[in-house]
Amino acid sequence: MQFYMRKFMIDLRSDTVTRPSPAMRQIMARAPVGDDVYGEDPTINELQEKVARLLGKEKAIYVTSGCMGNQLSIKAHTQPGDEIIVEQESHIFNYETAAPAMISNVQLMTITGRHGIMTADQIERAIRSKEYYMPPTRLVCIENTHNRAGGTIYPIEEIRRIHDLVKSEGLLLHIDGARLWNACIATGISPQEYAQYCDSISVCFSKGLGAPVGSAVAGSEEFIGRVHRYRKIFGGGMRQAGIIAAGALYALEHNRERLAEDHEKARYFAAEVGTIAGFIIEMETVQTNIVIVDIKRDGLTPAVVLEKLRSEGVLLGAGSPGKIRAVTHLDVSMDEIRQAVAVFHMLFS
């Protein structure tokens, strides 16, 4: 048991490994509940109303995951045969199991952005012409912060330009805001300011905020009506789920401001590990709580590095080809980050 605990002492694979705190668990245990399929769970209703206010949208709906939130939004915005513009390294394209094709019968047009950021000019060039043999461009999806690029923040000025473009072209804009809370804390820009430029937005509670389950989708009342219907079709209608929604409410109220601590831990980790020969980190991309490490040393592959770290009680995750990823979060302290850095130096310096 001691060996097992040592191996899994410092877990930097993702901020999804966070666990509800004792205070959060107490709130969850006391949560009033009802049947959410009937719209009668008071805790879920409170959460949905709070999210809608925070994002400045007419309505919001609680869903089980960020993946479900994105796919419900795509389904509600599109018709079979439509095309969606996404960034090549986006979560929707890489980590949602081809769901747009399987569920919504749409195809994805990918654009290679810089650090995950597509510009309005790039998007404009990707919009299909109106010939009948072209798939109609219907939706643009952007990711803020961008996971695979290293937690990079979408510049608000570029979001404005994309908004203006999609409106002029009669298109729609969805923001995958799984880590929007991190972007807000890092920039001082409110969730509502980001969300005002999109037709729909998904946000997550089970990453940096530390809730055990759930995301939300927000948009117009008419849009959320369609999402609600598709949520039922997808099997996402929950009953007395206020128990888990209470964790999300607690997280929104108590854990947003503390995300700044995770950003500080990521910057420290990146600055220290980046001094090791063959471990390349673009500090420009270390903007929130994710650090991408590019392995450029003969004889070392990501798999070898991850296994060596695991043997010393530090867990990281695989990133893009040739890279590994560290994600800081509330369950790993700054002291533990220093310990993880020491392990890196012991093994690889």
pLDDT tens digit sequence for 25-65? 999 999 999 999 999 999 999 999 999 999 999 999 999 99
* Lowest-confidence pick of 3-12, 117-126, 215-224: 3-12
Residue 218 reports pLDDT greater than 80: yes
Residue 4 reports pLDDT greater than 50: no
| pLDDT value at residue 8 | 56
Residue 2 reports pLDDT greater than 80: no
- Report the C-alpha gap between 285 and 287 in whole angstroms: 6
**CB-based contact 110:55 (threshold 8 Å):** no
Angle of CA points 292, 4, 12, to nearest 5°: 15
Residue 304 reports pLDDT greater than 70: yes
- Average pLDDT in the chain: 96
Average the pLDDT over 15-27 and give the result: 96
| pLDDT value at residue 202 | 98
Q: How many Cβ atoms sit within 10 Å of the Cβ of residue 133? A: 6
**Domains and their CATH numbers in the chain:** 2-18+258-348 (3.90.1150.10), 31-254 (3.40.640.10)
**CB-based contact 324:318 (threshold 8 Å):** yes
- Model confidence, pTM: 0.95
pLDDT classification of 294: cutoffs 50, 70, 90: very high
Average the pLDDT over 281-299 and give the result: 96
- Report the C-alpha gap between 18 and 25 in whole angstroms: 13
Residue 300 reports pLDDT greater than 90: yes
pLDDT tens digit sequence for 124-164? 999 999 999 999 999 999 999 999 999 999 999 999 999 99
Residue 5 reports pLDDT greater than 60: no
- State what percent of residues in the chain have pLDDT above 70: 98
| Radius of gyration, alpha carbons of the chain | 21
Residue 6 reports pLDDT greater than 70: no
Average the pLDDT over 325-329 and give the result: 98
| pLDDT value at residue 1 | 32
Average the pLDDT over 230-250 and give the result: 96
Query: How far is the CA of 162 from the CAs of 84, 185, 244, in angstroms?
Result: 14, 22, 35
Sign of CA dihedral 275, 279, 283, 287: negative
pLDDT classification of 272: cutoffs 50, 70, 90: very high
- State what percent of residues in the chain have pLDDT above 90: 96
Residue 21 reports pLDDT greater than 50: yes
Residue 340 reports pLDDT greater than 70: yes
| pLDDT value at residue 102 | 97
Average the pLDDT over 2-19 and give the result: 75
Tokens of 295: 């392995």
Average the pLDDT over 167-189 and give the result: 98
DSSP structure class, residue 340: H
| pLDDT value at residue 3 | 37
Average the pLDDT over 198-213 and give the result: 97
